Amino acid sequence: MIEHSEAPSSPNRAQSDSGKLIREITDDGESPMEDTRDTSPVTMATLAKRVGVHISTVSRALQEPRQHTTNKTTLIIRELADQLDFQPDATASRLRTRRSRLIGVTVPSLTDPVHATTYEGIDKQALRRGYSTMLSMSANLDDRSPSRANSLIRSRVEGIIIQDTFEGDLLPATLRKRHIPYVMCLRKNDDEVSVAVDDLLGGRLAAEHLAAAGHTEIAIISPDSSVSTGRDRVEGFRRRMLELGTRIDDSRIVPAGFDIASGQRAAETLLDWPKLPTAIFASNDLTAAGIMFRLREAGITIGRDVALVGYNDIEISKHLPVPLTTIASPLHEVGARSLDTLVEAIEGRTPRSLKLTPQLLARESTLAFAPVNA
């Protein structure tokens, strides 16, 4: 529990008052925001002296999850720490507490911008809270077995964030047996605690956008159904289209992976259909990019002849030859909130699953539709 100098207030009010309180605290002494002459490392003792509180107050303030912060003194300490670029001394903390303060993260691959961006959110939040991270990548394993986390377990991590889970994954059972806390990130698995995007909603948003433009002849490019992200996006899309009066049969679903090459192969399949669909929903931006490249090679104009929607809003999506309409996922926030949720479990609390809200970003790939088959 954070020490309070006064009763907690609402987050908005506390944040708006924090700058004022910093000025009040420093009116009678040096300003923590303006003194740049001291080049010695910024420590918790430095922050405590500047703010005028005990060092234990600073320690607890920096460990509290940001989304839980309402106390004004805590906000002042955090703002000062950010401005002075305070970096926790992880080695000193490990020696003092006899804890590793090390978080393991399993990912399929960091060449995928979705997982790389999410991991960035994890790592930055870990640093803020005095933890370090260690990666284990499963992309090169012959099978996605529990052994993919062996190096993390040997390194005595305090908990593991699982970004690469799939249906039938045995890793959670292994971690439970070893009493190692864990959290699912991006992907869900049964009733395990997870931090993910509401992909059912994301699929619905894509369906509503295409239905509003009059599309009924739609193809879905879907990944392996053992992965919850793709499965939920497709389910949300099909369910909403049915509610709007259009049934999408299984024959309209083309399997594909989460990369550009898979999208190009899926486009080849579509080009072999007797009639090209008027719209395509790809459950990943890289897959959508591959579809776009191949259809353009075939003389199809994306956005005019065929509408195309992707998913996640990775950086490349707005820089494609035809800027891609997509469902934006708050990937960085998913990573940060996953770290906070895991820390709750490490500290003996009972964490809850979180679903973050996606949003539709309409761009040229759906906004100039005039079907080629008309």
Condensed to tens digits (0 to 9), the pLDDT of residues 121-153 reads: 999 999 999 999 999 887 654 446 777 888 898
Paired residues of 279 in beta bridges: 218, 307
CA distance 61 to 160: 24
Amino acid type, 89: D
Structural contact between residues 333 and 356, judged by C-beta atoms closer than 8 angstroms: yes
Domains of the chain plus CATH, in order, are: 44-84 (no CATH), 98-197+332-356 (3.40.50.2300), 199-329+359-366 (3.40.50.2300)
DSSP readout, 178-219?
TT--EEEESS--TT--EEEE-HHHHHHHHHHHHHHTT--SEE
Q: What is the pLDDT of residues 317-368, one digit of tens each?
A: 999 999 999 999 999 999 999 999 999 999 999 999 999 999 999 999 998 6
CA distance 253 to 256: 10
The secondary structure of residue 109, as a DSSP letter, is: -
Apex 231 CA angle, 260 and 159, nearest 5: 90
The answer, yes or no, to whether residue 48 has pLDDT greater than 80, is yes
> Residue 166's pLDDT band (boundaries 50, 70, 90)?
confident
Which of 79-83, 296-300, 345-349 shows the lowest mean pLDDT across its residues?
79-83
